[in-house]
Structure 1
Amino acid sequence: MTVRGRDAMLVPLQDALRDVKADEAELHVHRRRSAISRYAKNQIHQNAVADETLVQARVVVAKAVGIASANSLDPADLRRLVADATAAARESAPNADWPGLAEPAPLSEPQAYDAETARADARSQADAIKRVTAAATERAFRAAGTHQIELTEDAIANSNGVATYAPSTMAYLRALVTSDTGTGWAEDLGWSARSLDPSDVAARAIEKAALDRDRTQLAPGDYEAVFEELAVAEVLRFMSLTGLTGETLRDGRSFMKDRIGEPVTGPRFSLWDDALDPRTLAIPFDVEGTPKQRVALVEGGVAKGVVYDRQSARWFDTRSTGHAADPRRYTVGGHAGNLTMAGGEAKREQLIRATGRGVLITRFHYTNTPDPKRATMTGTTRDGTFLIEDGRITRALANVRYT
C-alpha cells in the first residue's frame, strides 16, 4: 500500500480554499485503502482491494451551512466542490447556534500507524490465514472468516488556518470455526499486523467449537454471567451510541441525564475515551480538526461527563473535546469511539471459578436498546454460550435471548 503523504493530501485542500467567497470554509479528505482476504471451508476464496477517497466541503454563509462531497483531489474538482457547498449554504436556513469552525491548536503525534503494516500484501494475509485453517483441519473442523488490512489518511484544512494530517493503519483477523455440532468465534485487532496472533485466534475458536456440542436450553431467569472481551465491547459500543455524547445528554436519552456526579454503576467500573492511548485505533484529531482529548466518562462508578463536538459544546457552553464524527455514520453531537476501560485483577479462568451457577458468553448478536435512559439492552448470544456450575464449564447452551 502506498502512502500519499502530508503534502499530497493537504496542499490541494489549502489551494482550493484560497479564493472562497464565504464567511468560513472547510475541506476534509479521508483516503482509505483496504485489502481483504476472505476464507471458508479452510480455503481462501477471495482477495479484494479497495482504494477510496472522499472529500467533504463545509461552507458557511451568514451562519447557514452548505455541505457537498466528491471523490477527487483534482484542483478543478475541488473548486467545483467548494462552489457546490457555497451554493448550498446560500439556499439554506441559518443555524442560530452555529459554533464556528475549529481554530488551529497543537496536536499530538499519530500513534496508530505502522509502516510495515501499510506495506503488507496478500501473501502475508494468506500466511496468517493458513495458520488458522491448518489448525482447524487437524481437528477435522472448518474455518471461515476474514483478514483485513487498512491504511487510512486524513487531512483537514479550513479558512481559520487549521491544517492537519495523519495516517493510520489497522489489521484484524476473524475466525469462525465450525464442527458438526457447533461453532466457535475468535478475533484479533490492532494497528500493527505483527501484533496479530493467528495461532491464538485459531486455538480460541477451536476450543469453543469443540465445547459447543449437545446444547441444552437455558431456563428463563436471572443468572450470573461472565462476559468475554467481545461481549464487553458490544455493551460499551451501545453505551457510547446511546448515552455518552452531548447530543444524547441534551435530548434526555442518556443514562447520565441529571446524574453527572452520581453513581451510575458499581464502584469497580471506570471508563474513559482516550484516542491517545496507544492501544486504540485513532488519529489525534476529529473530523473538524479539533485535537482529541482524554475524557473521563465514568470513574469509580460515578458519572463524570460526556464527549462533545463543536456543535454540542455550544449547546452546553463548553469546549469541544475533539469528538466530532463522520457525518455519513453519526449524527451531530459527538461520538465516543476510542473507549478504554479500567481492568480488574481476575482473569477469565478465575472469573469462571468464582461463579457458582452462571453463563459464559463469547459475544452478542442482534443487540438493541429498548430503554437507553436506563441503559437497558437486549439481544442474543452467539458462537459459544456455556453453562457454568460450581466454578467450571459443564455444558453448551443453545443461543439465548437476554435483557
Structure 2
Amino acid sequence: MTIYSEEQAKAILDKAIKMSKADECTAQLSGSNGGNVRYALNNVSTSGYVSDADLVVEVAFGKRTGTATINAFDDKSIESVVRRAEELAKLAPENPEFMPAIEKQTYKPTSTFVEKTAAITPEYRAQVAADCIEPCRKDKLVAAGFFSDEQDFSAIANSKGNFGYQKASGMNFTCTVRTDDGKGSGWVARNLADVAKFDAKSEIRIAMQKARGSADAKALEPGKYTVIMEPAATAGLISFMMFGFDARQADEGRSFLSKKGGGNKLGEKMFDERVTIYADPWDEHAAVLPWDNDSLAREKTPIITKGKVDYLQYSRYWAQKQGKKAVGQPGNLIMVGGDKSTMDLVKSTRKGVLVTRTWYIRLVDPQTVLLTGLTRDGTFYVENGEIKYPIKNFRFNESPAIMLNNIEEIGRPVRVGDDESPFVMMIPPMKIRDFTFTSLSDAV
C-alpha cells in the first residue's frame, strides 16, 4: 500500500527539506494504488494491480537547479536523493528564467476522493469485463476494452513553508465493439470520480448499437457539412485549442490569440455568444487538485465568457516580466450548455453528419489553431431528424476557433476525460455548421 496519510507524507517531506544544504528546496511525494482489466476478442487478456510512490526533490543554488527522484523513504534513501539533486544543481548552467520557490499558498480542498471508487475490487473489474463480453458474444459482436481505477495522494512542500496534501480517486472505461466481419464499429467511454454513477451493462448497449448500425458504410463526398458532434468528438479539439491560451505564446506572436503588430487578444470577442468556458477546481462533477504542477493555488477562472476571451495563462516567469498575477493553471474545463441530448440535436437537423468521436488529432497551424484528424467508431448521415445510414469516416481540417463560431445548437454537458488531455472536461454535444471534411478514410 502506498497511500500515505497527511501526517506521514508531511514527515517525509519535512525530513527531505531539512536535509538540504541548498539555497532552497521543494519536494513532492505522491503515490497510487490502481487496478485494471483488459479484454479483447471477447476474452479477458490481462488484469493487474499497481502500487507505487515517488519522492521528487528539487533544489536550487542561486539560479542553478537540480532534480532527483527516489521510491524509498528511509532516512538514508531520503538523504541520498537530496544529495543527488544538489550534485546535479551544482553541475547545471544558470537558468536565465529561474523562478524561486513559491511563497506559502492557501489551498481550499476539493472533492476529488470517493471512498466507493477507492474500494473497487478485482471481482468488480471482472464483472465489468463480463458485462461487456457476454452480450456481445451472444449477439455475434466482438468486444475489446479496458477498465481501470485508481486511488492516489499528492503532497507538496518547500523550504518557504508551503505545504499541501490531498487524496483523489477515479475510474476510466473504454470499449470498442466490432461486428464479426469487421465492417461495423461502435465505441463508448466513461471517465468518473464516483463509480456509483457507472453501469457497464447500460454503456455497452450504446457501443453495440453503433457497431450494428455502422456496418456497410456508404461513401459521402467530402466537403462542408452540418455536424452533430458528440462530447467526445469536440473535447479533443477544444483541449488542443487551450494550448493557444498561453500568454507568452500570444504575446510573442505564436498563437491564434496574437495580435498583428504585437500584443494579444485578451478581452476581445472571438467566439459565438453562446460559448462560455470556465475552470473550477471545486466543480461537483469535475473536481481536480487545488494546485497545479508548479504548486500554485488554482482559482475559479473564467476563460471564455459569452464569446469573449477572459483569460490567458501566465507562467510565473512571464507574469513577473509582464507585471501580471500568476494563478494555478486550470485542471478542468467546463463548457456551459443546455438541456438537449445528442439525439435531440439529431431530431432538429434537416441534413447533416453525426460524429461519435475524433482521434489522431494533430496541430497544423498554431496561429489559426487549424487541426487535422479523423472520425471513427460510428459516423452517420442524418436527414429530416433521423439517422438514415452509416457513412465512411472522414479526415477533417478544422479550427476549433472557427468551429465555435459556427454553432447552431448546444446540448447538455457530460464529463469527458482521456490520457491525451491535461484536463477533466464537461463538454456538451454541439451542432456545428460548415464543418470541413477533406477526404475519406476506409478505416472503421
**TM-score, scaled to structure 1:** 0.91
Distance in 2, Cα, partners of 1:225 & 1:243: 24
Contact map agreement 1:99 1:314 (CA 8 A) in 2 = no
The one-letter code of the counterpart of 1:304 is D
Contact map agreement 1:112 1:278 (CA 8 A) in 2 = no
Distance in 1, Cα, partners of 2:99 & 2:195: 40
SS of corresponding position for 1:34: strand
The one-letter code of the counterpart of 2:313 is V
Distance in 2, Cα, partners of 1:129 & 1:248: 45
How far did residue 208 of structure 1 move?
0.7
Distance in 1, Cα, partners of 2:302 & 2:89: 36
How far did residue 111 of structure 1 move?
0.7
How far did residue 107 of structure 1 move?
1.4
Q: Who is 1:293 aligned against? A: 299
Distance in 2, Cα, partners of 1:42 & 1:135: 10
Q: CA offsets per residue over residues 224-269 of structure 1, 9 Å max, x none? A: 11110111211122112x3123443344333222211112111111
Distance in 2, Cα, partners of 1:395 & 1:376: 29
Distance in 2, Cα, partners of 1:273 & 1:246: 17
Deviates more, 1:67-76 or 1:138-147: 67-76
The one-letter code of the counterpart of 1:401 is R
Distance change (3 Å), C-alpha of 1:195 and 1:2: farther
Q: Who is 2:385 aligned against? A: 391
Contact map agreement 1:117 1:149 (CA 8 A) in 2 = yes
Distance in 2, Cα, partners of 1:157 & 1:133: 46
Q: Who is 2:402 aligned against? A: none
Q: CA offsets per residue over residues 62-116 of structure 1, 9 Å max, x none? A: 1222222222323222212121222222222323443321222221123110122
Distance in 1, Cα, partners of 2:162 & 2:60: 16
The one-letter code of the counterpart of 1:245 is D
How far did residue 26 of structure 1 move?
0.2
How far did residue 288 of structure 1 move?
2.9
Contact map agreement 1:172 1:193 (CA 8 A) in 2 = no
Q: Who is 2:408 aligned against? A: none
SS of corresponding position for 1:189: strand
SS of corresponding position for 1:400: strand
Q: How many pairs are equivalent? A: 390
Contact map agreement 2:103 2:160 (CA 8 A) in 1 = yes
SS of corresponding position for 1:18: helix
Q: CA offsets per residue over residues 160-205 of structure 1, 9 Å max, x none? A: 0012111100112211111133110001111122221212211211
Deviates more, 1:144-153 or 1:387-396: 387-396
Which of the numbers 302, 305, 324 marks the counterpart of 2:311? Answer: 305
Contact map agreement 2:19 2:79 (CA 8 A) in 1 = no
**TM-score, scaled to structure 2:** 0.83
Listed as ranges, the gaps of 5+ residues in structure 1 are: 324-335
Q: Who is 2:32 aligned against? A: 32
Contact map agreement 1:172 1:196 (CA 8 A) in 2 = no
Deviates more, 1:50-59 or 1:160-169: 50-59
**Seq. identity, %:** 26
Deviates more, 1:313-322 or 1:260-269: 313-322
How far did residue 301 of structure 1 move?
0.8
Q: Who is 1:401 aligned against? A: 395
SS of corresponding position for 2:94: coil
Q: Who is 2:288 aligned against? A: 282
The one-letter code of the counterpart of 2:158 is N
Contact map agreement 1:110 1:167 (CA 8 A) in 2 = no
Summarize the alignment of residues 4-403 of structure 1 with structure 2, pairs less than 5 Å apart. Answer: 4-179=4-179, 180=181, 181-240=183-242, 242-257=243-258, 258-323=264-329, 336-403=330-397
Deviates more, 1:183-192 or 1:289-298: 289-298
Distance in 1, Cα, partners of 2:143 & 2:169: 26
Distance in 1, Cα, partners of 2:318 & 2:141: 51
SS of corresponding position for 1:222: strand
How far did residue 4 of structure 1 move?
2.2
The one-letter code of the counterpart of 2:17 is L
SS of corresponding position for 1:374: coil
Distance in 2, Cα, partners of 1:373 & 1:86: 40
Distance in 2, Cα, partners of 1:163 & 1:337: 19
Deviates more, 1:299-308 or 1:309-318: 309-318
How far did residue 2 of structure 1 move?
6.3
Contact map agreement 1:246 1:307 (CA 8 A) in 2 = yes
Q: Who is 1:327 aligned against? A: none
Task: Let me know the Cα RMSD of the aligned residues.
Answer: 1.8
Contact map agreement 1:13 1:78 (CA 8 A) in 2 = no
Structure with the largest fraction of strand: 2
Listed as ranges, the gaps of 5+ residues in structure 2 are: 259-263, 398-444
Distance change (3 Å), C-alpha of 1:279 and 1:316: farther
Distance in 2, Cα, partners of 1:371 & 1:166: 39
Distance in 2, Cα, partners of 1:120 & 1:21: 43
The one-letter code of the counterpart of 2:212 is A
Deviates more, 1:1-10 or 1:350-359: 1-10
Contact map agreement 2:280 2:287 (CA 8 A) in 1 = no
How far did residue 344 of structure 1 move?
2.5
Distance in 2, Cα, partners of 1:399 & 1:214: 12
